[in-house]
Chains A and B, each alone.
Chain A
Amino acid sequence: MKIAVLVKEVPDAAVQKRIDPSSGRLDRSGEKNLNPYDTHAIEAAMQIKEGGAVEVDEIVAVTMGPESAVRALHKAVSLGADRSVHLSDAALAGSDVAATGYALAQVLKRESPDLVLLGQQSDDGECYTIGAVVAEYLGQPSLTQVIKLDIAGTELTCERQAEYGYDTVKVTLPAVISVGDAINEPRYPSLKAIMGAKKKPLETVSVGDAEIDASKVGADGSNVKCGDFKAPPSKSAGTIIEDDDTDDTVAKIVAWLDERKLLA
């Protein structure tokens, strides 16, 4: 079988993110990295491949993004993917989550994998949603927040944390599964794998190559327009007590709680 892993390049979490005040857009300069959740998706693919329950012919990493996004693909390949596909086209700039999911689904249709894996959220964006959008465009079932995955033939048994506790769901392939970071501990790429990553096949695909309807992507093809960035309501600074005399401190806490009827 064939597994596709969707990956994304995101600003490094350790770097302060900001909106460029002149353009009102996210400032995408600065350090970038492979979205941490996606490393768990690659690891999950590797564990299926190495697990022996099914025969995995190849793992393909797929991304959509500007030229710089190839770095995310190199990282994905160094972590074990066999090759990668980069959907890159000026026509895609400004796509909203539904348009992005549609475009990725078109690329996946060319690949027709048995299983699509991705991280359940990206550090910079659309939480829990892209997998469900991609699945809908592919006409496949989708599960998100999956923290355990077993495969047998064409059936997946997935565990996930849901509103009332844990769910176990059986899914018939092909399917799109978004994984949480509790699913595994991603491996570190070896130096050899890092060095070799640039030599593994990388295909760059345009909107035309993937038969993407250009009127359905990009800022104009998107159904949502974002703007009017504003600062969140500022919260007035709270009271601070330095604990010099603990009895006194505790009396103050109790009085504070009392005033707000929290000890009723």
Chain B
Amino acid sequence: MSNILVYALHYEGAFNKNSLGAVAEASRLAGELGGEAHAVVVGEGISDELAGALGKYGAKKVYKAEGPEGLAGPVIDTLGKLFDGGDYEYAVFGGGLLGFEIGAGLAARIDAGVTMEVTGVNVVDGKLAAERPILGDSSISTSRYKGKGIIIARLNAFEVKETGDGDAPVEAITTELSTQAQQANIVTRGEQRGADVDIEGASILVAGGRGLGKAEGFELCDDLAKAFGNNAAVAATRAVVDAGWYPYAAQIGQTGKTVAPKLYLAAGISGAIQHKVGMQASENIVAINKDANAPIFEFSDLGIVGDLNKILPKLTEAVKARKG
């Protein structure tokens, strides 16, 4: 009964990083509980090779179910059926849209407890205890489960680790779709709009806020990101997205994306809590702000009090020179 099910989301032949972190974390936890982590993949024509590769991240078995991709219903049906078998006590999800939708629906389906936005999980007295930041991250609360438990992580909260011994055995299963699952149908999935921005894949993000002054101010961020090279992209705060200075696809924060790059350079950003929750997991945070009292300095690793209009162009030149 100490086995854990974990859902892995994929798109166009690759698993998303957030899901791989969830598989790795579930595998660690199952190990401590004396059980195994089994992954579940739902989609159309998934190859055994792709599914089995989850073994590298610690999954001991992978169930693959044929069904429409990108919707919660078919995954809830599949996981619900696996829980009915009685071998599982917990389910773990990476964050993101589907993690939240599936985790919550599954909790109701199997009468389990659910915790969302989880940033850490421990084994306490042979059971899982999930930690969740609350009140704008000013406090952390611990959830314990009466019976079955569902853990939905904050986006990218779990580290991707290749701890498995190679490919896992793949078992094809069939799920009969519930009526409600049949009532939702994907028309288009993953449509890119407004920009070719991929802020989640970038290891360096140059983020711009209202301090850039106007839409054209983003050129300063674009130039610096270009100087850093291929792995860098530009991100934005909600204030500037609302103002129409930059596309929504690049928005960081509570109502935008959650990122955890190696370097997050914030230019002209005050550091409001709704922005902070989207980027605080970044490894290195550098902030440029002319106001020495800006909240962003409370959680940046390197803070520069000054005018970004003076600093960014020179920094871009210096990075260019270094990168040669």
Q: Which residues of chain B are near A140, meaning CB under 8 Å?
A: 180, 183
Partner of A165, one of B71, B104, B191, B284: B191
A226 nearest in chain B by CB position: B141
Known A-B contacts A171-B183, A230-B139, A243-B311; the reply to A235 vs B105 at CB < 8 A is no
Q: Which residues of chain B are near A229, meaning CB under 8 Å?
A: 134, 139-141
Distance A254 CA – B8 CA, assembled complex (angstroms):
39
B306 touches A243 (CB 8 A): yes
Known A-B contacts A129-B114, A175-B183, A242-B305; the reply to A254 vs B143 at CB < 8 A is no
A113 within 8 Å of B by Cβ? no
A19 touches B314 (CB 8 A): no
A187 within 8 Å of B by Cβ? no
Q: Which residues of chain B are near A169, meaning CB under 8 Å?
A: 71, 184-187
A130 touches B255 (CB 8 A): no
A26 within 8 Å of B by Cβ? yes
Known A-B contacts A17-B135, A127-B116, A250-B315; the reply to A170 vs B187 at CB < 8 A is yes
Q: Which residues of chain A are near B70, meaning CB under 8 Å?
A: 162, 167
The number of chain A residues with a CB under 8 A from chain B is 78
Q: Which of B49-57, B157-165, B209-217, B296-304 lies at the interface?
A: B296-304
A143 within 8 Å of B by Cβ? yes
A172 touches B183 (CB 8 A): yes
B189 nearest in chain A by CB position: A167
Within 8 A of A (CB), among B147-162: 147-149, 152
A57 within 8 Å of B by Cβ? no
B248 nearest in chain A by CB position: A182
Q: Which residues of chain A are near B297, meaning CB under 8 Å?
A: 238, 240
Q: Which of A65-73, A84-92, A96-104, A198-206 lies at the interface?
A: A96-104
B133 nearest in chain A by CB position: A232
A127 touches B100 (CB 8 A): yes
Within 8 A of B (CB), among A107-146: 121, 126-133, 135-137, 139-145
A223 within 8 Å of B by Cβ? yes
Q: Which residues of chain A are near B303, meaning CB under 8 Å?
A: 238-241
Q: Is the interface of A mostly helix, strand, loop or mixed?
A: mixed
Distance A226 CA – B135 CA, assembled complex (angstroms):
14
A35 CB → nearest B CB, Å:
13
A225 within 8 Å of B by Cβ? yes
Partner of A224, one of B115, B117, B191, B192: B115
Q: Is the interface of B mostly helix, strand, loop or mixed?
A: mixed
Q: Which residues of chain A are near B178, meaning CB under 8 Å?
A: 139
B56 CB → nearest A CB, Å:
21
Q: Which residues of chain A are near B285, meaning CB under 8 Å?
A: 238
A191 within 8 Å of B by Cβ? no
Query: Contact mask A229-254 → B, CB, 8 Å, 1/0?
Result: 11110010111111100110111011
Q: Which residues of chain B are near A239, meaning CB under 8 Å?
A: 301-303
Partner of B137, one of A127, A135, A165, A232: A232
Q: Which residues of chain B are near A153, meaning CB under 8 Å?
A: none
B320 CB → nearest A CB, Å:
11
A47 within 8 Å of B by Cβ? no
Query: Contact mask B304-324 → A, CB, 8 Å, 1/0?
Result: 111100110011001100110
Distance A149 CA – B142 CA, assembled complex (angstroms):
37
A-B pairs with beta carbons under 8 Å apart, 9 shown: A127-B116, A162-B70, A162-B98, A168-B187, A223-B112, A223-B146, A232-B138, A243-B311, A260-B284
Residues of A with Cβ closer than 8 Å to B? 17-19, 26, 96-98, 101-102, 121, 126-133, 135-137, 139-145, 157, 160-172, 175, 180-182, 222-232, 235, 237-243, 246-247, 249-251, 253-254, 256-258, 260, 262-263
The 4 closest A-B pairs by CB, nearest first: A243-B306, A223-B113, A136-B108, A224-B113
* Further 13 A-B residue pairs, CB within 8 A, beyond A130-B104, A132-B108, A257-B319: A17-B136, A98-B108, A141-B181, A168-B187, A224-B145, A231-B138, A232-B140, A238-B302, A243-B307, A250-B311, A250-B315, A253-B311, A254-B322
